C-alpha cells in the first residue's frame, strides 16, 4: 500500500506542468496598431484619390476647389477622351507599351540564358562571366561613355537605344542564378542521361519549375521599362518617339500646356489643364496596377529566393 502511494506521488511530480495559455496583445496595443495601419493607408490612398478625382472633375469644380478636387460631384471623362483621341499622349502610350513588352521579353530571354549557363557546373567561361556580372553591380557605366557607345553603334533616335543599354540587369541575373542552382540535381542529371541537351532541359524542366522567379524578374523588368524616361531623354531627340513617361515629365512636372494641337481635339473641347495632367498620370499608373494582381501569388515566393538555404 505504501509503495502504491509513493508511486502515485512520484507520478504526480513527474507529470508535465501545463503551460499557461499565450495571450494576445492587449486591446490598447491592437487599437494602436490598427490606427497606425489606417494612417499609413490614408497617406497612400488619399493622394491617389485626389489624382483620380481631379482627372474626373470639370473646370467649375477645379476652380471652386482651388486646383485639386478630393471628390468630384459631377464626374466627367472629358480629359480621358481628349488625351486618348489620337494625339501625342495616345502615340506615347503605344510607344511605352511596345518598348515595355519587347524589352521585357528580350530581357527575360537573355537573363534566363545567362543565369542558367552560370548555374550549370562546368559550363564554358562561367567563372569569368560571373565575375563580370558581379563587377557591374559594383561599378556602373557613366552617362557620357554610355552615350558615346550608343552613338557609335548608330542607335540614336532609335527605340533600341532605350532597350539594349539596359537589356540585362546584374542583380536579376544573380537572383535567377541562385534559384537555378537550388533546383534538384537528380532531375537534371536524369534528363542528361536520357540524352536531353541543355537547351531542352532549360525549356522542358528548368523554366516550368521556375515560374515564380521568372514572374518576379519579369515584373522588375516591366516596371523598369515602363517607368524609364531618362534613357529616352538622352537618346531620343525626336519628340514623336517619346514614351509616355517622358510626356508625363514634360506636361505634368514641367507644366507645359496640353493644347488642341497636342491632343487632336478642337480648341473649345480642351478640358482644364489640371484634369489633363492628372489623367495622364492615371494612365501611366493603370497598366502596372492591372498586371501586378496576376503576378502577386508568385511575388512573395520569388522575392525570397536565395534568402533561405537548405
Choice among 65-74, 119-128, 293-302 with the minimum mean pLDDT: 293-302
Answer positive or negative: Cα dihedral of 234, 240, 245, 249.
positive
Query: Does any domain span residue 209?
Result: yes
Task: Give the mean pLDDT of 136-159.
Answer: 87
Query: Does any domain span residue 4?
Result: no
**What pTM, to 2 d.p., does this model score?**
0.79
What digits encode the pLDDT tens for the residues 87-129?
A: 788 888 899 999 999 999 999 999 999 999 888 877 787 788 8
20 pLDDT band, cuts 50/70/90, is low
pLDDT at position 9 over 60: no
Task: Give the mean pLDDT of 70-99.
Answer: 84
- pLDDT for position 133: 86
Average pLDDT, the chain: 80
User: For residues 127 and 133, what is the distance between their CA atoms, to the nearest angstrom?
Assistant: 10
Query: Does any domain span residue 126?
Result: yes
Query: Does any domain span residue 127?
Result: yes
Query: Does any domain span residue 28?
Result: no
* Residue 226: CATH number of its domain: 1.10.3720.10
Query: Does any domain span residue 121?
Result: yes
User: For residues 189 and 242, what is the distance between their CA atoms, to the nearest angstrom?
Assistant: 48
Alpha helices in the chain (DSSP H): 2-14, 27-56, 59-65, 78-83, 88-119, 126-138, 143-152, 170-181, 185-193, 198-201, 207-209, 211-227, 230-235, 244-248, 260-263, 273-303
Give residue 249's domain range: 81-303
User: For residues 248 and 92, what is the distance between their CA atoms, to the nearest angstrom?
Assistant: 10
Domain count, the chain: 1
pLDDT at position 310 over 50: no
Instruction: Name the region of 69 (left: φ>0; alpha: ψ -120 to 50; beta: rest).
Output: beta
Selected residue with higher pLDDT from 33 and 306: 33
Percentage with pLDDT > 70 across the chain: 82
Percentage with pLDDT > 90 across the chain: 12
309 pLDDT band, cuts 50/70/90, is very low
Q: Which of 309, 307, 284 is nearest to 51 (CA)?
A: 284
Query: Does any domain span residue 8?
Result: no
Query: Does any domain span residue 68?
Result: no
Please say whether the beta carbons of 114 and 307 come within 8 A. Answer: no
Amino acid at each position: 500500500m505504501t509503495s502504491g502511494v509513493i508511486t502515485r506521488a512520484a507520478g504526480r511530480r513527474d507529470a508535465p506542468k501545463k503551460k499557461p495559455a499565450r495571450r494576445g496583445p492587449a486591446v490598447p496595443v491592437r487599437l494602436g496598431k490598427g490606427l497606425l495601419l489606417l494612417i499609413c493607408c490614408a497617406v497612400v490612398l488619399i493622394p491617389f484619390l485626389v489624382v483620380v478625382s481631379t482627372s474626373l472633375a470639370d473646370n467649375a469644380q477645379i476652380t471652386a476647389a482651388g486646383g485639386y478636387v478630393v471628390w468630384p460631384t459631377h464626374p466627367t471623362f472629358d480629359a480621358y477622351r481628349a488625351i486618348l483621341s489620337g494625339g501625342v499622349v495616345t502615340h506615347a502610350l503605344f510607344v511605352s507599351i511596345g518598348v515595355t513588352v519587347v524589352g521585357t521579353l528580350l530581357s527575360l530571354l537573355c537573363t534566363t540564358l545567362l543565369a542558367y549557363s552560370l548555374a550549370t557546373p562546368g559550363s564554358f567561361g562561367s567563372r569569368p562571366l560571373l565575375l563580370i556580372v558581379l563587377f557591374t553591380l559594383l561599378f556602373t557605366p557613366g552617362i557620357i561613355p554610355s552615350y558615346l557607345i550608343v552613338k557609335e553603334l548608330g542607335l540614336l533616335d532609335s527605340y533600341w537605344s532605350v532597350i539594349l543599354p539596359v537589356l540585362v540587369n546584374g542583380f536579376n541575373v544573380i537572383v535567377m542564378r541562385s534559384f537555378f542552382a537550388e533546383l534538384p540535381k537528380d532531375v537534371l542529371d536524369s534528363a542528361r542521361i536520357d540524352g536531353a541537351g541543355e537547351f531542352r532541359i532549360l525549356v522542358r524542366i528548368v523554366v516550368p519549375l521556375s515560374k515564380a522567379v521568372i514572374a518576379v524578374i519579369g515584373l522588375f523588368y516591366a516596371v523598369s521599362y515602363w517607368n524609364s524616361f531618362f534613357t529616352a531623354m538622352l537618346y531620343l531627340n525626336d519628340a514623336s518617339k517619346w514614351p509616355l513617361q517622358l510626356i508625363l515629365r514634360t506636361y505634368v512636372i514641367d507644366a507645359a500646356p496640353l493644347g488642341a494641337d497636342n491632343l487632336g481635339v478642337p480648341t473649345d473641347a480642351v478640358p482644364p489643364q489640371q484634369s489633363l495632367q492628372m489623367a495622364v498620370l492615371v494612365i501611366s499608373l493603370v497598366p502596372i496596377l492591372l498586371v501586378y494582381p496576376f503576378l502577386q501569388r508568385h511575388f512573395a515566393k520569388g522575392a525570397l529566393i536565395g534568402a533561405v538555404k537548405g
